[in-house]
Structure 1
Amino acid sequence: MKKISIICLLFFIGKTNLFAQSSGYRLTDSFHIAGPGGWDYIAVNKNKLYVSHGTLVNIIDKNNGDSLGEVPNTTGVHGIAFDNELNKGYTSNGRLNNVTVFDLNTNKILAQIPTGINPDAIFYEDYSKKIITCNGRSNSLSIIDPVTDRVVDTIALSGKPETAVSDGAGKVFVNIENRSAISEIDMKSLKVENTWSIAPGKSPSGLSIDRKTKRLFAGCENKMLVVLNAENGSVVSTPAIGEGCDGTAFDPALNYVYSSNGEGTLTIIKEISKDKYDVIENVPTKRGARTLAVDPLTHIVYLPTANFKPAVSGERRPPMVPGSFQVLVVKKK
């Protein structure tokens, strides 16, 4: 009986290893970018990466990291958005309380648009064809018409907006970080229709969406990805993620949800069905790699970070090593 039990156990272990899941993603390269300053969001547009970097946006080739230019004078820049029909790019400048408009071909500055206080996340909303900023200190959204490059409306919120996404059919969803909630906005009326608690999730930061299944993916401070039904606000799943998430993304071709974690991991979650989600693996990245962009064409994940000096007691974050700013390249091997 003992021999049979041992044989069965070995067979079970073998089968477990045989069917162990792997995303195939691995850290394969890093693109080093000169200059001081912190960072926040990164964005992919066609063959270029746009990387927020302190007082400017670095533009690099997504294939090899070669410098292709920069957008200057964007102090406190958080995010970058694009209106490819009008050939314009937009940066949210948190310390200047404005948005910079630039030409996507020449990088020439076209306009500076005043917004709410501390514009953070920014994105192109394809239903209304507007640019939207999340104003972190004025608890509002600025709605920008890219034809006139003017703020045409402001939507008041119940708390601090962190990130927003669109379902492409007239609804925008916003993480309300300090209330651990998500607000639903109707882009026809420009009114908040619902604000849903995401408990047990806390302090949502990154937000992404599967438009097909109508599911929202909110990366939370308490190492949890909250999957929310975008039609009624119910929490349908809470898979575990790494610590320090500041960005999530969804790849509809692979049905993968990604969470970039400042601890130095990339959590990859498989959407099995609209209400079932399995963690595939936590791919090692580097400390500080807390935001991300996924190329929808190549499925490559890009994450900005730097090297850090030893932490000093009392400091919120350890100082970065000068000249070590970089973009990590994580792709399937």
Structure 2
Amino acid sequence: MRRISKLAVIAVVGAVALTNACWASAQSHYKLVKTIALPGNGGHGDWVTFDPQTRTAWIVQSPEHNVVVIDADKLTVKAVIGGIEDGNGIAVGEKYAFVADATTNKLVVIDKNTLKQIASVDTGGKKSDGVTIDTQNGKVFVANDDSNTETVFEGEAPFARVGNIELRPQPAKDGPDVNLYVPGLDRIYQPVDNVVDVIDPNSSQVVAVWDFHLRKAAKPMVYDSQAGHLIIGSRDKKILIVSPDGKLVDSIPFEGGDIDQIAVDVAARRVFVGDKIGSAEVVDLDAKQVVDHLKTEKNAHTLAVDPATHRIFVYLDTSNKIGVYEPV
């Protein structure tokens, strides 16, 4: 009798979940509208970012030692900027794009108007990775994986190195991933191993360490400015929804797991998850569930959103193309 009741409950729950998933999926469909061929053979792209000011998508194409800039309206290659040995993270500000070079441990600076490299500054760290810009005071923060540090730079020429932050835990197993500055909160959020360091950019100090008891790595995050939540990726096959004071509000499970970059479309209430399984999960922020998938290709893991058109730009590593998706 007990067994029958248990099976019945499981069946009902499963049916409800399936019904909800089907309903959600029917409300949210995306199609591939264009693939943009990139120069060279490709094979790995570590970060994609979108710049609303210039209507461009920026792709770090590390095997070709360059950065590719895509015109988001014409959907064509606008520029190829070379001379970057092993590009990792990239952040685009008002006048400049800043790229972390993991091999040379440099912060490479690109002028947004001329699309030319204008500076290359030593980070003082090892295996430079994530880059974020404090838009309130103009400083640039670079995460260094192997030294488990965060280097602070002035955001204007000569782009002087002005600080160094020891991250936690110390020592770290894998070190930091890509960081995020949130202007409204005036904080930098830095995943390190399976925790998140909270950095005050004014004092250049770690002021809190958030531990959500993840078994695997905490990954890069985005900010949902409408709900006032941080959306944090993880290799635990779940996305964390966290309040600004570090409280876990909710978690959203997904079937993949080997994720990297995530992107948010706040107005559309969608998060897109760069998952190496060959399918990017689409998460409804209000329903708090996966509602759709973008069919990408295996090992694709970086992507960005154009908030004006709601298009998603995905770097397809193996075929060395940008896949452009849009809602239908």
Give the TM-score band, short-chain normalised.
0.7 to 0.9
1:241 Cα deviation (Å)? 4.9
Aligned mates of 2:226, 2:138 — CA distance in 1: 20
Residue 151 of structure 2 is aligned to residue 142 of structure 1? yes
Q: CA RMSD in A?
A: 2.5
Spell out, residue by residue over 1:35-89, the C-alpha distance to the aligned partner (whole angstroms, 9 max, x if none): 13432111222222211112111122223442222221111101222221xx222
Structure 1 equivalent of residue 13 of structure 2: none
Residue 163 of structure 2 is aligned to residue 153 of structure 1? yes
Contact 1:60–1:66, Cα closer than 8 Å, also in 2: yes
Aligned mates of 2:162, 2:85 — CA distance in 1: 24
**Scaled by the length of structure 1, what TM-score is found?**
0.83
Aligned mates of 1:109, 1:34 — CA distance in 2: 18
Q: Cα–Cα, structure 1 residues 17 and 286, in superposed 2: closer, same or farther, change >3 Å? A: closer
Contact 1:251–1:294, Cα closer than 8 Å, also in 2: yes
Choose from 76, 83, 100 the match for 1:73: 83
Choose from 174, 181, 205 the match for 1:166: 181
Residue 323 of structure 2 is aligned to residue 328 of structure 1? yes
1:33 Cα deviation (Å)? 0.7
1:175 Cα deviation (Å)? 0.8
* Structure 2 SS opposite 1:117: coil
Contact 2:45–2:317, Cα closer than 8 Å, also in 1: no
Choose from 92, 102, 106 the match for 1:82: 92
Contact 2:45–2:302, Cα closer than 8 Å, also in 1: no
Contact 1:93–1:120, Cα closer than 8 Å, also in 2: yes
Contact 1:128–1:170, Cα closer than 8 Å, also in 2: no
Choose from 15, 26, 33 the match for 2:38: 33
Choose from 290, 298, 313 the match for 1:279: 290
Aligned mates of 1:111, 1:256 — CA distance in 2: 36
Structure 2 equivalent of residue 253 of structure 1: 267
Alignment of 1:281-300 (within 5 A): 281-300=292-311
Structure 2 equivalent of residue 120 of structure 1: 129
1:329 Cα deviation (Å)? 0.9
Aligned mates of 2:127, 2:139 — CA distance in 1: 19
User: What amino acid is the match of 1:39?
Assistant: G
Choose from 236, 244, 250 the match for 1:230: 244
Contact 1:229–1:236, Cα closer than 8 Å, also in 2: no
Runs of 5+ unmatched residues, structure 2? 1-15
Aligned mates of 1:16, 1:216 — CA distance in 2: 25
Q: Cα–Cα, structure 1 residues 134 and 65, in superposed 2: closer, same or farther, change >3 Å? A: same
Q: Cα–Cα, structure 1 residues 17 and 82, in superposed 2: closer, same or farther, change >3 Å? A: closer
Structure 2 equivalent of residue 43 of structure 1: 49
Aligned mates of 1:198, 1:175 — CA distance in 2: 12
Structure 2 equivalent of residue 195 of structure 1: 209
1:20 Cα deviation (Å)? 4.3
Runs of 5+ unmatched residues, structure 1? 1-11, 308-323
Structure 2 equivalent of residue 59 of structure 1: 69
Aligned mates of 1:83, 1:61 — CA distance in 2: 17
Structure 2 equivalent of residue 98 of structure 1: 106
User: What amino acid is the match of 1:58?
Assistant: V
1:306 Cα deviation (Å)? 3.3
Structure 2 equivalent of residue 270 of structure 1: 284
User: What amino acid is the match of 1:297?
Assistant: A
Contact 1:292–1:304, Cα closer than 8 Å, also in 2: yes
1:235 Cα deviation (Å)? 5.2
Contact 1:88–1:101, Cα closer than 8 Å, also in 2: yes
User: What amino acid is the match of 2:142?
Assistant: T
Spell out, residue by residue over 1:268-321, the C-alpha distance to the aligned partner (whole angstroms, 9 max, x if none): 11122xxx61221223222121111111211111111233xxxxxxxxxxxxxx
Aligned mates of 1:16, 1:96 — CA distance in 2: 49
Aligned mates of 2:298, 2:32 — CA distance in 1: 13
In terms of mean alpha carbon deviation, does 181-190 or 17-26 score higher? 17-26
User: What amino acid is the match of 1:230?
Assistant: P
1:140 Cα deviation (Å)? 1.1
1:246 Cα deviation (Å)? 0.5
User: What amino acid is the match of 1:305?
Assistant: L
Contact 2:281–2:292, Cα closer than 8 Å, also in 1: yes
User: What amino acid is the match of 1:110?
Assistant: I
Contact 2:238–2:251, Cα closer than 8 Å, also in 1: no
Aligned mates of 1:66, 1:104 — CA distance in 2: 17
User: What amino acid is the match of 1:52?
Assistant: V
Contact 2:275–2:301, Cα closer than 8 Å, also in 1: yes
Q: Cα–Cα, structure 1 residues 265 and 152, in superposed 2: closer, same or farther, change >3 Å? A: same
